[in-house]
Amino acid sequence: MARRAIAHATSAFLHTAAVATAVWTSGTAPRVTLPASPRPIKVFAVPREDPSAPPGLNPLDKDDQDAVRASQGPSTVRLPTFVVNIEKIGSRASLLFPFVTPGLSLDHFAIVPPDESREVFHDPFAPVHANAKRTARLPPLAMSDAALQALVDRTWSRRDRWTPFQDILKLADTHDPSSGRLPDLLHAYERQNGLQPYVDATIRDPRLWTELGLAADHVEFIRFISRFTSQHPSTRAATELLFLLDQLTQASFDALVTLLNTDPSEGLAWTREANPGAFQLILDLRRHYGRQLQRKGLTTTETLTAYYGKVRLGILLGILRTTPRGYRANDARFLIGSVHWRTGDTGDALRAWRGMTRDSSDAYAASIARILDALAQTSGDRGDVDTREVMRALTPQVNAVLRAEYGRWIVFSIDRLRQFGFHFDTF
């Protein structure tokens, strides 16, 4: 009884004190002095998806959706070696080259913009995101080297990439994005099944329709990569998919140049004979994208090359900012320098390359080593790579390295195509 009485008395005192404190603070607001911040803190917030924009892309406007006439007649074109289904190409006519129109929205790939800090605001009272909970429970992908290579071979395709990629997509959605073999699988797919050379030896029709068919699936790949990198930012798998996005950018450029450089009246006689509606679709696509490029001031090969180069730089610089523990950072720096070098920005190229280190596990390890050797030989200990004398000595060495890297890709492509019964000019 004595303890209960003391408890009641203590409770009454605390309640009385709380009421008195509330009355006092309601009449007098204490002054709070915040500590001075040495610099302003920039906050990066992932923007919400615009419902009018395809995932990963900028919003569409009326000019982007300039109508392309639907094909009248058969939905296929029967070419000498295969039949192409043009229905998908026609249905995605205004999004065949999404890197140009409406353009890539890098904010939706968990890539911090160049002028923002890596400091990110987290609401301490917000519930744990469902994706974070799901990621914590994902098992690492267990797969032998032989099984991994078999899957990469099974998903190889010359004309249709998105459909066979579904087997890899399912594994990506159900396994840990950093541990296990998922990053290795995505890396192998990108290196072995990504960019392929397409050459027309006799007629243009097969190459053009093949490249347009591949371009029609770029929106689907962008959608998946945007979703995955947003759900699993700064993971090794996200880094690999961003390298794949860079390859899609290059493939988009090649397909667009093929379309623009094709004279339908001379190069597409087979299509005109086989399906006049499909021939009209090509005319409409050339008109549509010619208008889009003119609206954006991309009227020459040089301006179009520079534009796509800028898109690639945005992706590759994003990899550098977000890749975990420098994973494949050297490869990103090598490609960044290559883009700058080819567009004449030699100073930026050299600055990117001088940040590289030697690592035998890099995809471009041999070329990286040769670039670093060339920089060491020409600039010595001074680090002086801007003088004309140094550039005269360095330029032929760098050009030789880039040609050799391109040659390695060509040799690899010959063997890879032959493995599946193809050549550069078969589709």
Q: Does residue 207 contact residue 426 with C-beta atoms inside 8 Å?
A: no
Is 232 in the same domain as 348? no
Per the model's pLDDT, the better-predicted residue between 368 and 117 turns out to be 368
Tell whether 100 is covered by a domain.
yes
Is 389 in the same domain as 346? yes
* Number of domains observed in the structure of the chain: 2
Q: What per-residue confidence (pLDDT) applies to 168?
A: 98
Tell whether 149 is covered by a domain.
yes
Q: What per-residue confidence (pLDDT) applies to 81?
A: 83
Tell whether 315 is covered by a domain.
yes
Mean pLDDT taken over the chain: 84
* Mean pLDDT of the 6-23 span: 43
Is 72 in the same domain as 163? yes
* Mean pLDDT of the 50-70 span: 71
Residue 162, CB half-sphere, CA atoms under 13 Å: how many? Answer: 15
Show the domain range for 215: 43-123+142-321
Tell whether 11 is covered by a domain.
no
For residue 316, which of 298, 338, 297, 299 has the smallest C-alpha distance? 338
pLDDT range class, residue 418, cuts 50, 70, 90: very high
Is 151 in the same domain as 255? yes
> Of 301, 321, 341, which residue is a domain's last?
321
pLDDT digit string, tens, across residues 299-321: 999 999 999 999 999 999 999 99
**Taking the model in full, what pTM does it have?**
0.82
Q: How far apart are CA 160 and CA 149, in angstroms?
A: 19
Is 275 in the same domain as 333? no
Tell whether 29 is covered by a domain.
no
Q: Does residue 271 contact residue 241 with C-beta atoms inside 8 Å?
A: no
Tell whether 33 is covered by a domain.
no
Is 339 in the same domain as 219? no
